[in-house]
Amino acid sequence: MFRFRRARERLKQTRGLGAKITLVFHWSKKQLGRLLYDGVLREESRMRSIYDELLWNRVFAQKFIDENVSGLTTDGLVLDAGCGIGRMPTAFSTLGKPIVGVDIVQHDFWHKAGQAASFVVADAEAMPFRDSAFSLCLCLCVLEETEDDELTLQEIRRVLRPRGDFLIRVPNKGNLRTRLTGKMLYAKHLREYDKGKITRLLEGAGFTIKSIRLAGFYSPILTHLVNTLISPQAWLSLGELLPEKYRGVITFICEKAT
């Protein structure tokens, strides 16, 4: 409000229609830039928004489990390989399900997760756990960032107990944005996958595939801004409007083959 009053006073003092229009244009551009920087594009603000709106939202946690984990083995310890800021460990912990999050670097939000969640700094290609320690493993949009995806899958298989479940999500190489621009979704991705390639990798690593689902939408323009602004439900709903091959991510539910 203070900025607006000050700008209004400057506008009154400015003479000439052209000068007034120029002043309004530059003021509007400055305010828009401040809004985008402070509210959307600044990484810390974005991460806090994700944490506040998703991590502590019991409805979100229950929805994720109902849609993706229903019917899977969660009676033992759960592993989130490549947990990032800790969204899934916090979601599971909110529901009282014990889970271990692993990431290559420590994140500031870990200490805010519930008592059922614990965290370990480690590389997903060499995790400090005994064989067959977990009943379920999550690996959500992580495999594409690992140096050796085959080794990562072998390591996940090692720490899963016999017939343990594995839920993995990877970016779809054929998503709408990549098809139209020729660019991967994020610069940090080392690779992206089509359904055939990731299927062969999973089966070669010793997993039996139980289900495959393609979902989600990535805008071909202003991708990161659009996907920051829309809700997870809108992201899914927009994906449903596209043919499967143009959707954003591929989710597999697998079982450790014996």
- Which tokens go with 94? 């909110």
Query: How far is Cα 228 from Cα 25, in angstroms, rounded to an integer?
Result: 26
Same domain, 98 and 193: yes
Query: How far is Cα 65 from Cα 82, in angstroms, rounded to an integer?
Result: 18
Same domain, 75 and 120: yes
Helix axes 2-13, 17-36, angle to 10 degrees: 160
pLDDT in the model for residue 31:
61
Query: How far is Cα 54 from Cα 225, in angstroms, rounded to an integer?
Result: 18
Query: How far is Cα 240 from Cα 215, in angstroms, rounded to an integer?
Result: 7
- Which tokens go with 142? 């992580």
3-state SS, residue 246: helix
Same domain, 18 and 67: no
pLDDT in the model for residue 73:
64
Q: Find, among 168, 164, 121, the residue nearest to 140 by Cα.
A: 168
Share of the chain above pLDDT 70, in %: 78
User: What count of other Cβ atoms lies within 10 Å of the Cβ of residue 61?
Assistant: 21
For the residues 237-245, what does the mean pLDDT come to? 90
Same domain, 98 and 196: yes
The reported pTM is 0.74
Parent domain of 8: 2-39
Dump strand ranges (E) for 31-146.
78-81, 99-103, 117-121, 134-140
Same domain, 125 and 176: yes
Pairwise pLDDT comparison (29 vs 177), residue with the higher score: 177
For the residues 12-20, what does the mean pLDDT come to? 72
Same domain, 80 and 123: yes
Query: How far is Cα 155 from Cα 127, in angstroms, rounded to an integer?
Result: 7
Same domain, 158 and 78: yes
For the residues 83-102, what does the mean pLDDT come to? 83
pLDDT in the model for residue 14:
74
Q: Which residues pair with 101 in a beta bridge?
A: 80, 119
pLDDT in the model for residue 40:
46
Contacts for 43 with CB less than 8 Å, ≥ 6 apart: none
With 0-12 CB in 10 A as exposed, 13-18 as middle and 19+ as buried, what is 44?
exposed
pLDDT in the model for residue 11:
63
Query: How far is Cα 141 from Cα 130, in angstroms, rounded to an integer?
Result: 24
Domain at 137, CATH number: 3.40.50.150
Same domain, 13 and 62: no
Same domain, 35 and 46: no
With beta carbons less than 8 A apart as the criterion, state whether 161 and 256 touch: yes
With beta carbons less than 8 A apart as the criterion, state whether 64 and 91 touch: yes
- Report the number of distinct structural domains present in the chain: 2
pLDDT in the model for residue 37:
45
Same domain, 134 and 22: no
Same domain, 156 and 188: yes
Bridge pairing between strands 160-171 and 117-121: unpaired
Same domain, 34 and 53: no
C-alpha torsion sign, points 72, 73, 77, 81: negative
